[in-house]
Structure 1
Amino acid sequence: MKSPGNSKYVKKLNRMTIVNIIKENELISRQQLAELTGLTPPAITGIIRELIDTGFVKEVGLGESQGGRRPVSLQFNSEAGYVIGIEITSQEITVALADLKNMPTSIQRMKVAMKDPNAAVKELIHIINQVIFHKEHKSKKFLGIAIAFPGMLHGQEGTVKRAVNLGKEWNGFPLKSILENEFAMPVFIETNSKVAALGEKWFGGGTSCENLIYINMGEGISAGIIMGECIVQGSQGYAGQIGHTVMIEQGALCNCGNRGCLETICGIPAILRKVNAELPFIAGEDALKKYLGSGKEIGIKDLLEVAFKEESYAREVLRQANRYVALATSHMINLYNPDAVFIGGKLAMVAEFFREEFREVIASHTFSEVEDATAIVISKLGADSGVIGACALALKKILKTPNTEIFDEIVDDREQKYKG
């Protein structure tokens, strides 16, 4: 005999299944839903009634007849709700808006000092309120907020475990609970590279990939791993931390406390420290030296501009960083055997520029049949991969997780209105 709890879960699961079938089909009938799910017509009718009443599904005319009356066609209403996606980095906050089906829009970036978590979150709350209360969004129903965060988190709590690129002040910071209390809606938080991998799976080049890896090349180096529909987490959420794989024994000290981590070679701060320290002592003429007399340190844009223009010290620095990232990528391929590896982040264009060398390193360190079968793809989501992935995370939690309470809350609201 099924317990009431089990029955409630089964109902949630059935509702989630039906929503996603309707979402994935332009038009579909109740009869087709019954055939695809094995649910009885009365069960289908009850669930569809709820979904129509709550706005997630709409009736849009008559479909093709298979004999007898023409069935009423159903369509997913992508504008029934909206989600807000956010990416946090050490220097800025990026925010985007997405409906329940389409590519996120209205992507905006704002420079924000992140050292003090309380001040940073105060600014974040202001940014979210600007989105919610924008004059064009007054009629929109917001269902959730998701954040791509540059650090490790305590599971479902959304409390910061460690964020080496933001600072120790963030350790233990209850980011999720603060935002949920402020906005009275679900808040989902996940590590940025894992979120970016999800963005590739939902909106990027990975829609047809069963298994994929996303490598983030930016301030830090990290990986997001998708196997089937699942983000690989590891027992404590540390899966994919390739930036803290030791590549050089007794190398430079990393923010994590170890020495010789990949991030100490290939992360943007490490690259710029190396360049600004070494360039004055480089013999002969070099295009990068024109920046020395400007009174400011060389930035990543300066470095990329020179490296892509001509053979130079800048190009050699980036070539070396590229080879180390390629070596780390080969380790990931050997471990997970993905269909594709997507390279994204602020330095993805480095892997694109040195594409042949990147592929050569992988070929030298993987089985030939595995290397041949693994696509290496520069992400077309570009610098927006994190914020787009955050929108994908919110949609996945809302539309594909039976335990998410959002549908229940909306249905309960409807029933209360009817009782009133």
Structure 2
Amino acid sequence: MVTRPVHEIIEDLSITTRILGLNITGSKAIAVYGDMNGLVYERMQMEMPADIPFLEGFDAICSMADKLLKVCRAQGLNSPEVISLAVSGPVNLLKGVVQNPPDLPTWEDAQIKGRLAVRYNLPVFIEHRSQAAALAEAYFGAGIGLENLVLLDMEPVVSLGLVLRSMVFHGANDAAGEIGNMVMASGGPAGLGASGSLTGFASGLGMAELATLRHPGRWPVPPRPYELVQAVNAGDETALDVIRESARYLAKALEWVIAMLDPEVIVFGHPGDVLGENLLTPLRETLAASDAIDGKLPRLVGAKLGARLDDVASLMAVVDRFKNRG
């Protein structure tokens, strides 16, 4: 297990350092082999059952990573020198402990950073997946050249990634941006949050529940989120009605985010990126009428990295430390 001081590890990183990146949620786990420029050479992905016990899930993720590294070795690629981990929160970044994420409820005080370090004898850097996604867009996507960016993560729960004055902002308890539990109504869809929460109204799973609540004749059971997205983009009026309602609740939360942080851009992760203007237009219209932001409406855009966002985000715990080591 690597026991060197963190500052020495960071000093040894270089533009040629190769990275084993992992991105873990309660629906999927991704392993990538990449570099400091955000390039991904090889990737693998597996389904991740939300109720899987930590040790069982950890072994499955490592088995996938081992297969990925075997493929890389067969191509003559250098072995990775460091591991970068993006994972659902809450997470204690200093200790590298995952603390009961809504999408991985059995991962109670899961010592994932230490176990990875022992398993691979490599230094491990960890980041909340929403913050990692914000960093990915800041360095390689919609935030290039900007100092203040907010990323709205809509899967599996609603949370924010915050890059302020070109630095990721974690807060005192590594919980900055955890807005999904905001109570928006006395009842309503839940998703992986509480009934009537922002996660209920604006996450992929929550919007699917909202579709059934508002249009049970059209959707007697909640559709899969991608099915709702397909219906929206096909012009289905009942699906568009669901997204417009979701946008109204989302605007109520974002107006305070905008008033407090004054970002240059808010970037929307999946499924906001594929909903596109069907979500962003009603959001802009509602926010433009808000007294709370006094006309200071930032740009609202889908993630420029698109389907690559999760892959690139898996590298960002290391990339950000390297780029900010001075």
Structure 1 or 2: more helix by fraction: 1
Contact kept in structure 2, 1:218 and 1:267, CA below 8 Å: yes
Question: 2: distance between equivalents of 1:137 and 1:399?
Answer: 28
1:345 to 238, 248, 270: 270
1:84 is matched with 20
SS of residue paired to 1:164: coil
Question: 2: distance between equivalents of 1:114 and 1:254?
Answer: 13
| Cα offsets for 1:363-406 (capped at 9, x unmatched) | 122444522xx22221111243233122122122245336xxxx
Question: 2: distance between equivalents of 1:143 and 1:357?
Answer: 46
1:377 partnered with 2:293: no
1:164 is matched with 102
Contact kept in structure 2, 1:202 and 1:392, CA below 8 Å: no
Q: How has the CA–CA distance of structure 1 residues 351 and 335 changed in structure 2, closer, same or farther, with 3 Å as cutoff?
A: farther
2:256 is matched with 331
SS of residue paired to 1:370: coil
Q: How far did residue 229 of structure 1 move?
A: 3.1
2:156 is matched with 219
2:284 to 355, 359, 365: 359
| Cα offsets for 1:276-295 (capped at 9, x unmatched) | 45544x3xxxxx46xx6xxx
Contact kept in structure 1, 2:214 and 2:242, CA below 8 Å: no
| Cα offsets for 1:142-162 (capped at 9, x unmatched) | 121122211211231111123
2:34 is matched with 98
Structure 2: gaps (5+ residues): none
| Cα offsets for 1:38-60 (capped at 9, x unmatched) | xxxxxxxxxxxxx9xx9x5xxxx
**Aligned pairs (5 A) from 1:132-211:** 132-134=69-71, 135-136=73-74, 138-167=76-105, 169-211=106-148
| Cα offsets for 1:155-204 (capped at 9, x unmatched) | 3111112301221x111111111111101111122211111000011111
Q: Which moved more, 1:141-150 or 1:203-212?
A: 141-150
Contact kept in structure 2, 1:322 and 1:351, CA below 8 Å: no
Letter in 2 for 1:397: R
1:236 is matched with 173
Contact kept in structure 2, 1:131 and 1:137, CA below 8 Å: no
Question: 2: distance between equivalents of 1:355 and 1:100?
Answer: 32
Tell me which of the two structures has the higher relative contact order, counting C-alpha pairs closer than 8 angstroms and 6 or more residues apart.
Answer: 2
Question: 1: distance between equivalents of 2:262 and 2:289?
Answer: 16
Q: How has the CA–CA distance of structure 1 residues 139 and 98 changed in structure 2, closer, same or farther, with 3 Å as cutoff?
A: closer
TM-score (norm 2): 0.87
Structure 1: gaps (5+ residues): 1-7, 17-50, 57-77, 283-287, 403-420
Letter in 2 for 1:377: V
**Aligned pairs (5 A) from 1:224-303:** 224-249=161-186, 260-276=196-212, 279-280=215-216, 282=217, 288=218, 298-303=223-228
Letter in 2 for 1:307: V
Question: 1: distance between equivalents of 2:254 and 2:41?
Answer: 31
Letter in 2 for 1:354: L
1:387 to 311, 314, 318: 311
Q: Which has the larger radius of gyration?
A: 1
Question: 1: distance between equivalents of 2:56 and 2:8?
Answer: 39
What root-mean-square deviation, in Å, do the aligned CA atoms of Structure 1 and Structure 2 show?
2.9
Question: 1: distance between equivalents of 2:213 and 2:144?
Answer: 43
Q: How has the CA–CA distance of structure 1 residues 137 and 398 changed in structure 2, closer, same or farther, with 3 Å as cutoff?
A: farther
Contact kept in structure 1, 2:90 and 2:101, CA below 8 Å: yes
Q: How has the CA–CA distance of structure 1 residues 353 and 107 changed in structure 2, closer, same or farther, with 3 Å as cutoff?
A: farther
Question: 1: distance between equivalents of 2:235 and 2:155?
Answer: 22
Contact kept in structure 2, 1:82 and 1:141, CA below 8 Å: yes
Question: 1: distance between equivalents of 2:75 and 2:250?
Answer: 42
Percent of counterpart pairs with the same letter?
20
Question: 2: distance between equivalents of 1:12 and 1:160?
Answer: 25
TM-score (norm 1): 0.69
Contact kept in structure 1, 2:255 and 2:293, CA below 8 Å: no
| Cα offsets for 1:93-147 (capped at 9, x unmatched) | 1222222325334343222324221111111101111222223454414121122
Q: How far did residue 311 of structure 1 move?
A: 3.9
SS of residue paired to 1:260: coil
Question: 2: distance between equivalents of 1:384 and 1:147?
Answer: 16
1:129 partnered with 2:49: no
Contact kept in structure 1, 2:97 and 2:111, CA below 8 Å: yes
Question: 1: distance between equivalents of 2:229 and 2:133?
Answer: 23
